[in-house]
Amino acid sequence: MTQRLFLSCEHGGNDVPAPFRPFFRGAAAVLASHRGLDLGALDLFTHLRPLADASYSTILSRLCIEMNRSEGHRQLFSVYTKALPPPLKQVLLAHYHAYRDPVIADVSACLRAKEQVLHLSVHSFTPVLDGIERPLDIGLLYDPARPGEKAFCAAWDREIRRRAPGLRVRMNRPYKGTADGFTTALRQRFPKGYAGIELEVNQRFAAKGRMHADIKAVLSASLQAALG
């Protein structure tokens, strides 16, 4: 059965549309931090995109609306937007659906065509959160109850370690692969034929919006090898 690789980046930028900028006055530093975007993730996504059959990204800041949370989740809106009047929230929800709905439609079309979908969601994480260091370089997040996802992550882990044995690769760290997220929502919607993996890369490898070239090379080559 044919397998299609879908690539996505939910936190690629820190853009705030003009109508919402008054609500972010004084928040420039926060928007430029890991709270506003996944530093280096869009650059890594762009580097990996030639391997994909379909790709999706957004540069709307997660502080406007959290693309990697389910609708209705308590963190869907941030401290800057959760008190907005309903009409403005509807505008942000329109952005949310404009990003997520095409992915859902394309996965559905592949499954109807008897094709399988491997979806890789590209993220990065801050090295220190709430004063606690996170002792890993790369996280591969998956649902342990899904053998296909587990097997793919094991294969990708081996390929990464072959090329860069010094990298600290961990499974379901720094987050659980079953926590609320876009891949989790898609697993629930498509219980068969869909596999969702979140790639998390330590932001210590990111500088000025770019991921280190060595990390990009290792992840690209290892992903290609794991895909077979």
CATH number of residue 118's parent domain: 3.40.630.40
User: Whole-model pTM above 0.95?
Assistant: yes
How far apart CA 67 and CA 14 sit, in angstroms, is: 12
Return the SS3 of 200: strand
pLDDT in tens, 9-30: 999 999 999 999 999 999 999 9
- 151: domain range? 3-227
pLDDT in tens, 201-216: 999 999 999 999 999 9
pLDDT in tens, 85-96: 999 999 999 999
Number of structural domains found in the chain: 1
How far apart CA 212 and CA 50 sit, in angstroms, is: 18
Please give the average per-residue pLDDT across 105-123, as a whole number. 98
- Pairing assessment for the beta strands 138-141 and 194-202 based on DSSP bridges: antiparallel
- Cβ distance 36 to 61 under 8 Å? yes
pLDDT value of residue 1: 81
B/e letters for 82-93, b = 16+ CB within 10 Å, e = fewer, are eebeeeebebbe
Q: Which of 86, 40, 78 shows the shortest CA–CA distance to 62?
A: 78
pLDDT value of residue 50: 98
